[in-house]
Structure 1
Amino acid sequence: MEINDEVAIRRQLVKAVRMLERIGILDMNGHFSFRLPKQDRFLINARAASRASLTVEDIVSCDLDGRVDEGMQEPPSEVHIHAAIYQRRPDVSAVIHSHPHWQTVLGIAGHPLRPVFSIGAFTTDFPVFEKSSLVNTRELAVELAEILGTSPVVQIRHHGNVVVGSGIEEVFAASVYLEENAKKQFYAASINADFHVLEGENLERTRESNWAPSIIRKAWRYHEEKARLAGSFQGIDSVGKGEA
């Protein structure tokens, strides 16, 4: 895929949303965006469109103030999250806000995320945004972006999280394995409060070997193929059309 091919980017974004809905990281809520290269615009799934049957026609274009292009569907009410992060973080090209179960449970219990799983070794004690309401104003979004700082993740207590990165596949994979790491941490803590955490040289080596571009790509292809075989990509180009 050429990074400047907007049609291909829209299709990849739709695939990512459908794949994340299929594995339970997105449900009726949540949104995934991508900043278009060399443009002050980003693409994001429309507010009213089902995440399970999202199409390229349900991807809307917004400026960096979160204003949707004329004639398009309404963006999510929390579009301000994406706009504020893109304004603050020129290194970020993709943003997802979701409500992952295990991470939210750990946050409610007051347990910081810890690196306990090899592919989740990038996990650390990420910053926490303590305002659990919808982040549906520019003021709240700017505050959240400030808490995020230079981190790839910010947890939203009682609510969910925001994950950022350089591309759709990276943010997809990070969302998947951050949640898998949280699930394993929850189960380990339920067995033994003094559970093992990756640390020191072992942690650094594990991060380097298990969170490489090749692993990110492999994770994307695995979930993409599973979704394709399950028929999850039917109709992504428009209502009534199958996958091209």
Structure 2
Amino acid sequence: MLHQKDGRQEMNKVIVKDFKLQVATAVRLLENIDLLDMNGHVSFRVPGTDQFYINSRRASRASVTVEDIVMCDLDGNLLEADSEPPSEYHIHTEIFKRRSDVFSVIHNHPHYQTVLGIADIPMQPVFGIGSFVDKVPVYEKSSLVNTVEMGAELAELLGGEVTVQIRHHGTVVVGDSVKAAFAKSVFLEENAKKQYDAMLIRPDIRVLDGENLVRTRETNWQPSIIEKIWTYYQEKAMKENALAGLL
């Protein structure tokens, strides 16, 4: 019995380390492609619990390590590690409380999505792997989302969608895994970039619609595609030495 208990404890340690590693890796990858800067955060809710992991407030996004990932409950109370969560943890907690299908939340600061928001231009599906873009609600309070009330407002506005934009500020993206939320974050921005560039040529752009849009979405967002996106950006970051010291 003692050996079985020790085995379970070791297995739990491995699982926890993997959770933290995915969060820390996602932060590094997003910073490496300029979707995060000195701010921004990635979270992962532990399945079957009211606990989640998130990068700590103090850790640099450019050099975050596994040790910089903290665990909190859905009230933002620190349960593990000796740092503190980001001041905008309410974004994560309020979404987790409302969305049982969401296991990862990313708040980033993408350039092109923010520019479109400033210009009051709705995002539209304009290319293959960005075709999941649909309704993108806009939260009009541009300051830090650092209160329960603001987090609740934002989560209610998000509803059942994939993303919500914070005008003049950034974007919040959700997924059923860290890898899925990461992939959506990458291609929300790539879709916004292509939309922006096309509108420089001709404001009245053509967007994906009808059966073509439905099939494009279905063929571009299989689980294997998400894994492929994650692997590509991870290997790219490794070649650029952007994951050094992660562990």
- Map 1:151-170 onto structure 2 (within 5 A): 151-170=161-180
Equivalent in the alignment of 1:115:
125
Q: Which residue of 2 aligns with 1:201?
A: 211
Aligned position for 2:106: 96
Off by >3 Å, runs of 4+ in structure 1: none
Q: Matched residue of 1:42: which SS?
A: strand
Confirm or deny that 1:15 pairs with 2:25: yes
Q: Distance in 1 between matches of 2:158 and 2:43?
A: 17
- Distance (Å, rounded) in 1 between the aligned partners of 2:228 and 2:76: 33
Match of 1:177 in 2: 187
1:40 maps to a residue whose letter is D
Q: Is the 8 A contact 2:109 2:169 kept in 1?
A: yes
Change (3 A) 1:7 1:57: same
Q: Which has the higher mean CA deviation after the structures are superposed, 61-70 or 140-149?
A: 61-70
The answer to whether structure 1 residue 132 and structure 2 residue 142 are counterparts is yes
- Does residue 66 (structure 1) correspond to residue 76 (structure 2)? The answer is yes
The residue that corresponds to 1:187 in the other structure is 197
Name the structure 1 match of 2:157. Answer: 147
CA displacement 1:158-182 (0-9 Å, x = unmatched): 1111100100000000000000000
Q: TM-score, normalised by structure 1?
A: 0.94
Kindly tell me the number of residue pairs found equivalent between the two proteins: 236
Partner of 1:36: 46
Percent identity, aligned pairs only, is 58
Amino acid at match of 1:119: I
Amino acid at match of 1:17: V
**CA positional deviation for 1:147:** 0.4
Give the CA deviation at 1:44: 0.2
CA distance in 1, matches of 2:241, 2:19: 20
| In structure 2, distance between residues paired with 1:132 and 1:207 | 31
Structure-2 change in CA distance of 1:187 and 1:71 (3 Å): closer
Distance of 2:142 and 2:243 partners within structure 1: 33
Distance 1:195 1:172 in 2: 27
Q: Secondary structure at the match of 1:207?
A: helix
For the Cα contact (< 8 Å) 2:31–2:61, is it kept in 1?
yes
Equivalent position of 1:80 in the other structure: 90
**1:215 maps onto 2:225 in alignment:** yes
Match of 1:6 among 11, 16, 35: 16
Matched, 1:27 2:22: no
- Partners of 1:145 and 1:55 lie apart in 2 by 28
Q: What TM-score do you get using the length of structure 2 for normalisation? A: 0.93
CA RMSD of aligned residues (A): 1.4
CA distance in 1, matches of 2:81, 2:210: 53
Once residues 206 and 71 of structure 1 are traced to their aligned partners in structure 2, the CA distance between those partners, rounded to angstroms, is 43
Structure 2 residue runs of 5 or longer lacking an equivalent are 1-10
Deviation at 1:125, TM superposition (A): 2.8
| Structure possessing the higher radius of gyration over alpha carbons | 2
* CA distance in structure 2 between the partners assigned to 1:47 and 1:70 by the alignment: 14
Report which of the two has the higher share of helix.
2
Residue pair 2:32, 2:62 contacting (<8 A) in 1 also = yes
- Provide the residue aligned with 1:233 in structure 2: 243
Aligned partner letter, 2:93: A
Larger deviation: 183-192 or 122-131?
A: 122-131
